[in-house]
Structure 1
Amino acid sequence: MDDEQRYRAVHSRDARFDGVFYTAVRTTGIYCRPSCPAVTPRRENVRFYRTAAAAQESGFRACKRCRPDTVPGSPEWNVRADVVGRAVRLIHDGAVDRGGVGALADALGYSERQLNRLLSAEVGAGPLALARTERAHTARVLVETTDMPMADAAFASGFASVRQFNETVRAVFDRSPSQMRAAAGRGGGRAAAPGSIALRLPYRGRIDLDGMLSFLGDRAVPGVEEYSGGVYRRTLRLPHGPAVAELSPGSGHVLCRLRLTEPRDLSSAVRRCRSLLDLDADPQAVGEVLGPDPVLGPVLRRHPGVRAPGHVDPAELAVRAVLGQQVSVRAARTLAGRLVARFGERLRTPDGGLTHTFPTPGALAAADPSDLSVPVARGRALVSVAGAIASGRVVLGPGCDRDEAERRLVELRGIGPWTAGYVRMRGLGDPDVFLPTDLGVRRALDRAGAASRETRAWSPWRSYATHLLWASLNEEQHREEPG
């Protein structure tokens, strides 16, 4: 988009572009989301920024009316596989707060100077400014949704001092933390339950949330996940300890409840939940490509707002993909549940049916391949992929190079194109992966009379095409069931 197109989007208050860019008004000194209900400013007074951090670096503060920090993330960072996209995903995951800019640059294979130059040129802000914005957003959530003492909220948000916390919050939101808490209707003297946080996860456009939660529920591993009454819950392994996440439909948002060992893990937990539900997607962009297709269009109209479910832990997904080779979804769940019971780490305080975190790659790498309740060849593949991840030979995560990760996976014995592609699609969040050898995909195409269909026209949304084909197969199965 150019600036004139952006201004037209602002004039029409088009919410599709919330989070894609930000509008700053020179005369008021504030920045807004494109759909802000305030009077549209004159064109000559408007500047546009690709990130909130860039607007803040230029001296603008967040609008109190439209709250631009609460919008979905830009879908661009999920699509892009270059170093800038990888860097932004790592920063959103808290990499700068945990290891500094140096560790971020090392993970990407660049110098700090090169990385700062690339990010500044592409998104208008360097890694420190982007991380500062993430800290401010985390601080707002802790201040407004918990009764955590302000000093604790400051350090949990990643700030080095309470003074830095106060100055940043005031600069970004034009209010002190105490004023923000008072406006949210929370007292300042009571302590919340340790690590208990409830928040809303926004998304753009329509969303087939029931279908997505059902998809996850069908694959829920005993002890790690559970799904009941439209509510999906699972354990998370985060940098500072285990956590439990609960996701359910809200009114125009996803309701997310988190029980954290350490509040410092809030931003990481939120990123994982958003990735799991693909909440930063642009369903209209997907629909413009797949909607006119004679095979996918009818399915898309029956499932408007389709997303491509991701995962909270790519390493876990890689192990589960190996277990799922040539077996049913139900059988894969059973096998994974056995691994959890034997090798998973038990929660200190079980939460309903959630009792363990999924086994670490290190724990599985030390297992005996012949003692895993699977064929020995598959057991060797499982131990091999776990060992490669534990040793760093295969790098999976928000900042990895997707092409390199896939190449290294298929180099492992017992890991074929389907397994590597499935990990790339769901574990690494690549929106453009098609699984031509998948049995469900082949059956769906056969039933649609499109077995030889060329799929390049579905790019860059072939992961969504894959999920639509799976959905069409499920519809057919349900129609064939008696009663």
Structure 2
Amino acid sequence: MPSFEQCYRAVESRDPRFDGWIYIAVASTGIYCRPSCPATTPKRQNARFFPTAAAAQDAGFRACRRCRPDAVPGSPDWDLRADVAARAMRLVDDGLVEREGVAGLAARLGYTTRHLGRLLSAELGAGPLALARARRAHTARLLLETTDLPITDVAFAAGFGSVRQFNDTIRAVFAATPGDVRRAGRRQEPTNGAVTLRLPYRPPYDAEAGWRYLADRLVPGLEELDGATYRRAVRLHHGTGVLSLTPADGYVRCELHLEDLRDLGPAAARCRRLLHLDADPAGITDALGEDPLIGPLVRARPGLRVPGSVDAFETAVRAVVGQQVSVAAARTVVGRMVATYAEPLPHPVGTLTHSFPAPGALAEAGTLPMPTARTRTVTALAGAVAGGDLDLAPGADRAEVEAGLLALPGVGPWTAAYVALRGLGDPDAFPGTDLGIRRSLVSLGVPDRPAEIAAVADRWRPLRSYAAQHLWTAAPPLTRTASGATRPDASTEGRAA
């Protein structure tokens, strides 16, 4: 947490850049807000600051109905950090506590429940139950405002164990009954059974670059682009779903067609990770914009994000398939894999017919439409994930994932770094052997030697992923691989593998 004075100045300035980083609560009213709330700045003696909405709620404060602090973009801190608290937050957002309880969260992170509770309370101001409770309240509000589901169904879809627990939580968090929340919200009618959400972000946001990245890599049957709307199928914890994303002013419009509404929260979190909506562009520009080498690139495109993924396993497979081949060829191969090994959608939407194959299905595949060596890599990767030897969940330890990937046949440093960058959202992954990055650096006057490139990239820590994205975007035109980067040098990647 910043100091009290820094927090108070942020509130006085009403700067929306601090929304999601800190929350202010007012002791005299019992309400907590985002820093940019247009309400009057409280007296110093009444101001309380918290690192999370859950911490404010756990301290007995209610969400402001004017600024709706529970609906701000997520804290970039959880995106940047790789420690236990940040990993726990990502797993809570993915609904792990609802599925496996606090004991499951602790086991996934390698701690006892008591020690994890102490750690999260010290770091985030709230324990795992309070964090999960805040997430359930947020999901419930979305369902109340955007669907006509009966309130009882909303309670269980949001992850509550009983209607009484649901009612008590909504009253405590929003100072209103569930019916009041539904009537007061700007409710939108569902479209063809879809739940419609607004996913806010911190401007600026270069949606054109993000959508171009997605459009270049569409896999038939799995993804489609309909005008400005990107649509794809996805496997979730309780069933499949179809995500539809359309950029708008200040937010992305998200429509979710879900088999099971319990997947709503995790599905929305995956959309945010795919589009990197929780990034802090002002902070990134401050950190990299003055660099003498890439500073001009960063300042020219301050809204450029690092595209992520809805499924790190899918990203890893597509990275392997895309090694040494063109985008078109890799799309064709992945499309055949999807059609052959994935479960069909129960209700196809548009041209979408299948989700991506499950790890178990690819692990047992006898042959795949690619060279034998690459088939061996994909089946080994799928087997490691299916068997639990390789964890690619949102809260996975990034160092352990890298070590696990490098232990697989056919995976070298470039592939491991790329999976960390796109699949795990690692802000400091840098595939320095990538040909596009090297060509871009050469055009900026950096010698094409590994030691020179590594030395230059070191000064961009811990934000090398953003530097890589700017270098890729500025690279001279080349044939690009399906994994999203220009084709890596064959000899370098081959020796590394």
Instruction: Please give the TM-score of this superposition, normalised by the length of structure 1.
Output: 0.95
| 1:122-148, Cα deviation, whole Å (9 max, x unpaired) | 111000000000000000000011111
Distance in 2 of aligned mates of 1:441 and 1:174: 52
- Return the offset for 1:64: 0.7
Per the TM alignment, residue 193 of structure 1 is displaced from its structure 2 partner at its CA by 6.6
Match for residue 463 of structure 1 among 462, 465, 471: 465
| Residues 1:418 and 2:438 are matched in the alignment | no
The structural deviation recorded for 1:475 is: 6.8
Deviations 1:223-250 (A, max 9, x none): 1111232221111111110000011111
Q: Distance in 2 between matches of 1:34 and 1:94?
A: 27
The one-letter code of the counterpart of 2:147 is T
Q: Distance in 1 between matches of 2:281 and 2:478?
A: 24
Q: Which amino acid aligns with 1:155?
A: F
In structure 1, distance between residues paired with 2:478 and 2:260: 45
Structure 2 residue aligned with 1:7: 8
Instruction: Give the aligned CA root-mean-square deviation in angstroms.
Output: 1.7
Q: CA deviation at 1:361?
A: 0.9
Q: What one-letter code is carried by the residue in structure 1 that aligns with 2:320?
A: V
Q: Which residue of 1 aligns with 2:239?
A: 241
Partner SS for 2:24: strand
- d(CA) in 2 for partners of 1:192, 1:448: 50
Deviation string, structure 1 residues 233-284 (Cα, Å, up to 9, x no partner): 1111111100000111112111111111111101100110000111111111
Residue identity over aligned pairs, in percent, reads: 57
Structure 1: which 4+ aligned runs deviate by more than 6 Å?
Answer: none
Describe the superposition over 1:135-175 as per-residue Cα deviations: whole angstroms up to 9, x where unpaired. Answer: 00000000011111100001101111111111111110111
The one-letter code of the counterpart of 1:442 is: R
Contact conserved, 1:195 with 1:262, CA < 8 A, in 2? no
Within 5 Å, which residues of 2 pair with 1:209-288? 209-288=207-286
Letter in 2 for 1:159: F
Could you tell me whether the CA contact under 8 Å between 1:147 and 1:186 is conserved in 2?
no
- What residue identity is the alignment partner of 1:318? A
Is residue 146–residue 190 contact of structure 2 (8 Å, CA) maintained in 1?
Answer: no
Q: 1:436 aligns with which of 429, 432, 435?
A: 432
Per the alignment, in what secondary structure is the counterpart of residue 458 of structure 1? coil
1:326-475 matches, within 5 Å, as 326-368=324-366, 371-451=367-447, 452-453=452-453, 454-473=456-475
Aligned with 2:203 (options 194, 202, 205): 205
Structure 2 gaps of 5+ residues are: 480-497
Structure 2 distance, partners of 1:395, 1:52, is 28
Q: Which letter maps to 1:267? A: G
Gaps of 5+ in 1: 478-483
**Post-superposition offset of 1:373:** 2.1
Match of 1:196 among 187, 194, 197: 194
Greater CA drift, 450-459 or 406-415? 450-459
Once residues 215 and 24 of structure 2 are traced to their aligned partners in structure 1, the CA distance between those partners, rounded to angstroms, is 39
Q: What secondary structure sits across from 2:196 in the alignment?
A: strand
Q: What's 1:481 paired with? A: none
| CA deviations over 1:384-438 (Å, ceiling 9, x no partner) | 1111111111111111111001001101111111111111111111011111111
Query: 1:32-51 residue pairs with structure 2 within 5 A?
Result: 32-51=33-52
What residue identity is the alignment partner of 1:426? R
**Could you tell me whether the CA contact under 8 Å between 2:190 and 2:196 is conserved in 1?**
no
Amino acid at match of 1:425: L
**Distance in 1 of aligned mates of 2:380 and 2:438:** 29
Report if the CA contact (8 A) 1:247-1:255 is conserved. Answer: yes
